[in-house]
Amino acid sequence: MITLNDILLLSPEITLIIGAFVVIITDLFSPNKSFSAIFTSIFLAISAILSIALTTNLISSNDPTGSSIINVLSIDKYSLFLKSLILISGLSISVCGINLLSKELKSKGEFWALFLISITGMTLLTSTTEMITAWVALELTSLPVIGMLALNQKKYSLEVSLKYLVLSATSSAIILMGIAYIYGVSGSTFFSEISIIETALSGKFFFKDPSNILVLFGVLLLVSGASFKIASFPFFSWVPDVYQGAPTIVTIYLSVVSKIAGLSIIIRILFDAINSSMISEWAVYLSIMAAVSMTFGNIMALRQNNIKRLFAYSTIAHAGYILIGLASSEPDSLDSSNFAGIQSSVFYMVAYAITNLTAFLSILSISREINSFNIEKYKGVGIKLRFQSIILSIALISLLGIPATIGFMGKAFIFSSAISNNLMWLALIGILNSVISAYYYIRIIKLMFIDTPEDQESKTYSSDMNTKIITSFGTILILVLGLAPAMLLGIVEDVVNILQ
């Protein structure tokens, strides 16, 4: 039976669902279509406040250290932290979308309602401790996105939506197959009860009992299917076309929010469903995923002329950096320093979310003014749109990993974790890929501030005030947390320790 305490713990999700209904009803009767984005922002703000209040114990439940709701959801510091990050990112996107989506979308009420429903699925995904519930939450995140992609005004929106649908359905089927294998052997779908996996992995790749091979294969399928959400190998082929063809707000949403949710469930699978002492057996597979994602993403980004497509390949590369931390985690030791791998992944995820959100919102603002996403059209933009160009440059420097930025600290933690866990070769691949990425990041800065624009006509440009405020705040975080990362690192350590 669901209690009042359960309702309190689920208040962020309940608020989002109520908000989705309010947005739909408001859109039916209000001639002002911008109200949809405004109400979306209001309900996201309320949900984010509730989530932060629960995280900081301003609103306390019966068990502030972590509560279980009908045994399928765990509301702990880990889930609440990532949930707050998702909601704040979603709020930033919706606030900027109030003025920046006037021409790009049709059926704005339906779009924002689907946006709220998808975020609801992502917040639930951070808390799931049971495989069927996790699969349902994944579907709740993906299905609304299909509708959001189809609501674009461009002629190829249906093609992009169909591609996302097919690949999303494929990854979902692979996850279901993995769940079926694990349930068939262990007799349970609850992460905490799949104890047989510990003995199954103890023999590494040689098994006395053939049924244990199914467990190993099942978990492999789960992780592979979940890689769709973080846009990493093996499910990353959809990313460039979808990012380029989607409304830019959806591109930002998939690039930032979806990656946070995907990382949260992968961590739950590897550190909850599987005994944490067995993570070393997965280092090889996770390392391959990381190396392929980084190398493919960065090399393909070198030849792109569309900035949205360039960032699509960039996000694949950054998914690889995140996986380095998971591959180098050794949480079986009593020494908490050996848990630095997962801490570095979560830290990097926060750094990436702040930096990429700031960069993409700046790109949205600039491209709206110059009416193009072609990188060559960015020539001279640093003079015409100086404020947003400077902010974009700082974000690009952080993505590259230049010192004094949060991106540098994220990569430093990731690579040092890999080196300390005898994955020197993976750290070297990561460093080499960071060097490769310098070409296309610095190229954008060069075009904005050094190259002469082809169009010499004087034009008046203006940036959206909401975007200026949010990207300015993002830039401050990039620099402050880059110079003083201990603040964020302390929070991350406290959150990750819940998984030990």
123 CA to centre of own chain: 12
In percent, the amount of the chain with pLDDT more than 90 equals: 46
Residue 306 β-bridge partners:
374
Q: What is the pLDDT of residue 62?
A: 55
Helix (H/G/I), strand (E/B), else coil: 31: coil
Neighbours of 480 (CB within 10 A): 13
Cα distance from N-terminal residue to C-terminal residue, the chain: 29
Q: Is 144 exposed, middle or buried (0-12, 13-18, 19+ CB in 10 A)?
A: buried
Check residues 63 and 158 and name the one with the higher pLDDT.
158
N residues, the chain: 500
Cβ(115)–Cβ(47) under 8 Å?
Answer: no
Whether 296 has a pLDDT exceeding 60, the answer reads yes
Cβ(284)–Cβ(426) under 8 Å?
Answer: no
- Name the pLDDT band for 290 (thresholds 50, 70, 90): very high
* Nearest partner of 225 among 139, 121, 320, judged by Cα: 139
Single-letter code of the amino acid located at 493: E
Find the mean pLDDT for residues 130-137: 91
Find the mean pLDDT for residues 416-424: 89
Average pLDDT, the chain: 84
Report CA Rg, the chain: 22
Residue 67 β-bridge partners:
75
Q: What is the pLDDT of residue 207?
A: 47
Torsion of CA 271, 275, 280, 282, to 10 degrees: -70
* Nearest partner of 481 among 400, 397, 412, 407, judged by Cα: 407
pLDDT digits (tens, 9 = 90+) for 382-401: 888 889 999 999 999 999 99
Whether 297 has a pLDDT exceeding 90, the answer reads yes
Q: What is the pLDDT of residue 116?
A: 95
Find the mean pLDDT for residues 42-60: 89
Find the mean pLDDT for residues 350-370: 92
Torsion of CA 315, 44, 489, 426, to 10 degrees: -20
Q: In which element (H, E) is residue 469 found?
A: helix 465-483
For the record, the structure tokens of 85 come out as 């990050």
Single-letter code of the amino acid located at 366: I
Whether 313 has a pLDDT exceeding 90, the answer reads yes
* Residue matched to tokens 């980084």: 294
**33-37, 275-279, 365-369: least confidently modelled range:** 275-279
Q: What is the pLDDT of residue 103?
A: 58
Q: What is the pLDDT of residue 314?
A: 94
Find the mean pLDDT for residues 273-296: 77
What's the number of CA atoms in the CB half-sphere (13 Å) around residue 63?
A: 9
**63-67, 137-141, 150-154, 431-435: least confidently modelled range:** 63-67
pLDDT digits (tens, 9 = 90+) for 432-481: 999 999 999 999 999 999 887 766 555 545 567 888 999 999 999 999 99
* Nearest partner of 318 among 437, 465, 190, 178, judged by Cα: 437
Find the mean pLDDT for residues 370-379: 89
Q: What is the pLDDT of residue 279?
A: 60
* Rounded-to-integer distance, Cα 41 and Cα 53, Å: 18
The most confident of 12-26, 71-85, 456-470, by mean pLDDT: 12-26
Q: What is the pLDDT of residue 346?
A: 93
**27-31, 343-347, 365-369: least confidently modelled range:** 27-31
**DSSP states of 419-460:** HHTT-HHHHHHHHHHHHHHHHHHHHHHHHHHTSPPS--S---
Give the global pTM: 0.91
Q: What is the pLDDT of residue 353?
A: 95
Q: What is the pLDDT of residue 333?
A: 43
Whether 155 has a pLDDT exceeding 60, the answer reads yes
pLDDT digits (tens, 9 = 90+) for 163-202: 899 988 999 999 999 888 888 877 888 887 775 555 555 5
Check residues 325 and 213 and name the one with the higher pLDDT.
325
* Rounded-to-integer distance, Cα 275 and Cα 202, Å: 10
Q: Is 227 exposed, middle or buried (0-12, 13-18, 19+ CB in 10 A)?
A: buried
